[in-house]
């Protein structure tokens, strides 16, 4: 079994911070801290953002006396990686087993699944 590179995934706190940055765009530590619920200490947010910068998930630029951080990775990329990891770990790599589990556990019903399939096809057709 091969180990994942250390920077491959995001911790829960890293993901929360990335979600704020994706929503706000370029942000200072103070701006991110103000958006987090429950609140976290400034130094905690700063440390995590510096870790994300070292991992290559954020870039930072000094503006005046503060760094402004911006995402280097897209939210869709992170969501896709997280979903792939979940499917691999929990469903033996089978997307079909994930969908069956959602149906069996009544997380989604067949009508909603059909609606989502139609929506997916409409969006797929509208892409260039």
Whole-number Cα distances in Å, 23 to 29, 63, 95, 99: 14, 20, 28, 29
Q: Are 93 and 87 in contact (CB under 8 A)?
A: yes
The tokens of 3 are what? Answer: 């180990």
pLDDT at 128: 76
Q: Can you tell me the distance from the alpha carbon of 9 to that of 11, in angstroms, rounded to the nearest whole number?
A: 7
pTM beyond cutoff 0.85 = no
- Overall fold of domain 12-71: Arc Repressor Mutant, subunit A (1.10.10)
| pLDDT per residue as tens digits for the range 41-56 | 999 999 999 999 999 9
Q: Can you tell me the distance from the alpha carbon of 2 to that of 25, in angstroms, rounded to the nearest whole number?
A: 35
Domains of the chain by residue range: 12-71, 94-128
Q: Which residues of the chain have pLDDT under 50?
A: 1-7
């Amino acid at each position: 079994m091969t180990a994942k590179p250390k920077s491959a995934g995001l911790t829960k706190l890293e993901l929360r911070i990335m979600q704020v940055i994706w929503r706000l765009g370029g942000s200072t530590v103070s701006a991110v801290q103000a958006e987090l619920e429950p609140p976290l200490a400034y130094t905690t947010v700063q440390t995590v953002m510096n870790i994300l910068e070292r991992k290559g998930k954020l870039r930072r630029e000094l503006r005046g006396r503060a760094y402004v951080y911006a995402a280097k990775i897209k939210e869709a990329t992170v969501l896709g990686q997280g979903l792939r990891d979940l499917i691999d770990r929990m469903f033996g790599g089978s997307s079909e087993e994930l969908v069956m589990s959602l149906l069996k556990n009544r997380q989604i019903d067949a009508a909603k699944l059909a609606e989502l399939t139609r929506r997916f096809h409409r969006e797929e057709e509208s892409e260039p």
